[in-house]
Amino acid sequence: MRKWAVIYSSTTGNTKAIAEEIAGASGGDIFRVQDAPADLSAYEVVALGYWLRRGGPDDLMKAFLPKVTNACVVLFQTHGADVGSEHAVTSFARAAYLLGAHCEVLGTFSAQGKLAPALIARRKKSDPDDTHNSPEAQERWGRAANHPNEEDRAAAREFVGKMEHKLDLLEKFRREQEERRHASSMPPQK
């Protein structure tokens, strides 16, 4: 297995739970974003996890992402939105856009997570016409309340295996490309 750094930001424990699963499955080193090393060059994979705030990574992770350079990156996130929703998918693009120079995003993992009780209380006090306090939003809060659950944790562990397999295939492809380049540069045999 490759050497992984798992760096996360978490306030409710949702993202921390997924980070722990990814670190456990990869045998990686785990860091809160506040404690992450500045030099990540010793790691073959850098997994960056965050919770969503206003359709993108939370502020701590948002400040850290540009510092990550020259890395093979995996992004993972937790949120109250439905997995696969436009909100969740767009946030990956926003996170990737913030990465420093020469990063390659290998894959993404998303899991629902329960909302903080204080956030729900604030939203319930807002205008009923606000999309964040709509009946649909309140249904989503209910669905998210039991996440991340064991199914989400198992999916995070499985995700690590998929990323390792993807890297194996990528390395094989690059070796074959290099062999083809080398063969085509050789003079013909007589």
In eight-state DSSP terms, residue 99 is S
The helix-helix angle for 150-185 and 14-26 (nearest 10°) equals: 50
Q: Which residue has the higher pLDDT, 144 or 31?
A: 31
Over residues 71-81, the mean pLDDT reads: 91
Angstrom distance (rounded) from CA 69 to CA 18: 23
The pTM of this model reads: 0.84
In eight-state DSSP terms, residue 65 is G
For residue 19, the Cα-to-chain-centroid distance in whole angstroms is 9
Q: Given pLDDT bands bounded at 50, 70 and 90, which one contains residue 173?
A: very high
Angstrom distance (rounded) from CA 28 to CA 164: 12
Residue 81 has pLDDT above 70, yes or no: yes
Over residues 29-44, the mean pLDDT reads: 97
Give the model confidence (pLDDT) of 148-169 as tens digits: 889 999 999 999 999 999 999 9
Which residues are bridge partners to 29 per DSSP? 5
Q: Which of 10-19, 28-37, 51-60, 166-175 has the lowest mean pLDDT?
A: 51-60
Give the model confidence (pLDDT) of 89-131 as tens digits: 999 999 999 999 999 999 999 998 876 666 656 665 666 665 6
